[in-house]
Amino acid sequence: MKNSLLFFILLLGCAAAQAQTTPKKNISPEGYRIDATIKPYRNCVMYLASYYGKNKVLVDSAAFDANSHGIFKGAKKLPHGIYFFVTPARSLLFEILVDDDQQFTINADSAHLENIAVTGSANNELFAAYSRYLTGIAPKLNALQQRLKTAAGAADSAAIQQEQKRLSKELNDYRENIITTKPASMVAAMFQAIKTPELKEWPKKADGSSDSTAAWRYMKDHFWDGVNFYDNFLVRTPFFDPKLEDYYKFYVSSDPDSIIREVNYMLLMSRSGKDIHQYLLGRFTDKYINPEIMGQDKVFLFLFNNYFSKGDTLWLNERQRKYIFDRAYSLMANQLNEPAPELVLNDTLGKPASLYDVKALFTFLVFWDPTCGHCKEEVPKLDSLYEAKWKALGVQVFSVNTNENTFDEWKKFIGEHHLQGWHHAWQNRDGRLADERAGVANYRQLYDIYQTPTMYLLDENKRIIAKKLSLEQYDAVIEAKIKTKTSTQ
């Protein structure tokens, strides 16, 4: 739904902008010109759009006359990819390919899209033929899938599946024939990119049983066969991003070091393709700058240190660049398995309170604000868990009030909720300003405090072993660590 909404916003916004532009000049051979006759659309504006990853982006618009004819044209060639025509009602009509041949003619009738005719573009002629073939076989495959849901019995199901297998092979053979006979075509590259590895024979272990690990390894090793990561056209297709998503979901370990190896390989391979390199770098940054899985922000830091900090930023606007650099600086000091930054603040009596003075098997570090609604719920829950279980397991709590204007409210909250046995600390405004004048990094940056509560779990050596989890997840981590420690003694 978000993608569709973005698409319509782009269509409406860009269409309005185009209406105010000056008429297009005559097009040189270096530009593009697509003569289109699309019935029954008359005396209206039609649109040309392209895929871009998960999104759809408006590229051009053209006025169609009383004969359903319009011309899309521009002085510069379009980037390679799969494009599509969009009706005045903002619905996708049919797709075309854009390669080096960008001066061609299309004749189509929306009531009979199986009869699309293209002249002047060998790739589009090939693609139109495939589209006509697909128009015939796709409904048959869909009908079989529906029949399978209501199959009368095992024999009926087997017969349906056999027919599905036959038609799927026919479709696959069609694509393979294009790959073999037209290997340099964009259609062949497209078919290579959408291929799924096929196990001819399931691997066996030495005892003769099925080897699922070997099968998984085969699928992973052959997942990208025939795909060139420097090919910019992949960015402007509807299938590359879902394939990328499936690869990282099913074939790459969630361990950050495993992810780093994969993303670095793809980024290095895509270096000679400007569009796809920027797309991949941006996509990986979006995914790992605020990851769903703890510790994967290490992937973002790798991207920052190896790409962004080395000048791979010219394609970013200033706001994007600032956000990326600020996030990197906020994450560098609080990575998993690294020592936690020292904290020397003041307690409720104004005396120094040092994080590293706390001696405990585990130190639970919580940054919170006594005026924050969520903190008012979570901090008492934390204390209940501490009193009922954690204290006996050797956990101590180092609590930091992040609101420099709430000293009285802070002390009142501590008293009312009986937060006893905790190490309470804060920094007032004067202390913060003194740090700024001295060039000392503030704890808000060191611990990436952009929301409250923010929590960390440290081991006995003050190394970070968990961060930004729920209290239930922290409890599970503590139990697992104690179990591991006990079993190795």
How far apart are the C-alpha atoms of 226 and 191, rounded to whole Å?
9
pLDDT band with cut points at 50, 70 and 90 for residue 29: low
Residue 464 lies in a domain: yes
Residue 200 lies in a domain: no
Helix (H, G, I), strand (E, B) or coil at 318: helix
How far apart are the C-alpha atoms of 368 and 361, rounded to whole Å?
23
pLDDT (0 to 100) of residue 418: 95
CATH number at 425 reads 3.40.30.10
pLDDT (0 to 100) of residue 198: 84
On whether the CB atoms of residues 224 and 38 are closer than 8 A, the answer is: no
Residues 116 and 136 reside in one and the same domain: no
Q: Is the pLDDT of residue 145 over 70?
A: yes
Residues 152 and 229 reside in one and the same domain: no
Q: What is the DSSP string of 35-63?
A: EEEEET--SEEEEEEEEETTEEEEEEEEE
Distance in Å from the first CA to the final CA of the chain: 54
Number of domains present in the structure of the chain: 4
Helix (H, G, I), strand (E, B) or coil at 457: strand
- Average pLDDT value over all residues in the chain: 90
Residue 179 lies in a domain: yes
**pLDDT per position as a tens digit, 354-409:** 999 999 999 999 999 999 999 999 999 999 999 999 999 999 999 999 999 999 99
Residue 339 lies in a domain: no
**Domain C-terminal end among 98, 120, 142:** 120
Q: CA distances (Å), 442 to each of 326, 328, 416, 428, 439, in order?
A: 13, 15, 29, 12, 9
State residue 90 phi and psi, 5-degree precision: 70, 30
- CA nearest neighbour of 398 among 436, 433, 447, 329: 447
Residues 277 and 358 reside in one and the same domain: no
On whether the CB atoms of residues 474 and 455 are closer than 8 A, the answer is: yes
Edge-to-edge strand ranges of the sheet holding 344-346 = 352-354, 344-346, 423-426, 395-401, 362-368, 454-458, 464-467
pLDDT (0 to 100) of residue 207: 85
Residues 68 and 190 reside in one and the same domain: no
Q: What is the DSSP letter of 469?
A: -
| Domain enclosing residue 410, as ranges | 344-487
On whether the CB atoms of residues 124 and 118 are closer than 8 A, the answer is: yes
**Domain C-terminal end among 331, 355, 388:** 331
- The region of weakest confidence among 14-23, 63-72, 190-199 is 14-23
How far apart are the C-alpha atoms of 482 and 475, rounded to whole Å?
11
pLDDT band with cut points at 50, 70 and 90 for residue 13: very low
On whether the CB atoms of residues 417 and 383 are closer than 8 A, the answer is: yes
pTM, two decimals, is: 0.84
Residue 207 lies in a domain: no
**pLDDT per position as a tens digit, 101-130:** 999 999 999 998 888 999 999 999 999 999
Residue 310 lies in a domain: yes
Residue 228 lies in a domain: yes
Residue 106 lies in a domain: yes
Residues 483 and 350 reside in one and the same domain: yes
Helix (H, G, I), strand (E, B) or coil at 437: helix
Residues 150 and 264 reside in one and the same domain: no
Please state the rounded mean pLDDT for residues 183-201.
Answer: 90
**pLDDT per position as a tens digit, 468-482:** 899 999 999 999 999
Q: Is the pLDDT of residue 1 over 80?
A: no
How many Å is the maximal CA-CA distance in the chain? 86
State CA 15 to chain mean position distance: 28
**pLDDT per position as a tens digit, 263-278:** 999 999 999 999 999 9
Residues 394 and 306 reside in one and the same domain: no
CATH number at 95 reads 2.60.40
Residues 228 and 296 reside in one and the same domain: yes
Residues 137 and 108 reside in one and the same domain: no
Residues 302 and 241 reside in one and the same domain: yes
On whether the CB atoms of residues 14 and 48 are closer than 8 A, the answer is: no
Percentage helix, strand, coil, to 5, in the chain?
50, 20, 35
Q: State the DSSP H helix or E strand holding residue 243, giving kind and residue range, or none if neither.
A: helix 240-250
**Domain C-terminal end among 298, 331, 364:** 331
pLDDT (0 to 100) of residue 489: 65
Residues 387 and 454 reside in one and the same domain: yes
Q: Could you tell me which residues come within 8 angstroms of residue 84 by beta carbon, excluding any fewer than 6 positions away?
A: 48, 49, 50, 51, 92, 93, 94, 95, 96
Of residues 40 and 8, more confidently modeled: 40
Q: Is the pLDDT of residue 150 over 50?
A: yes
Residues 357 and 296 reside in one and the same domain: no
Number of residues that this document lists for the chain: 489
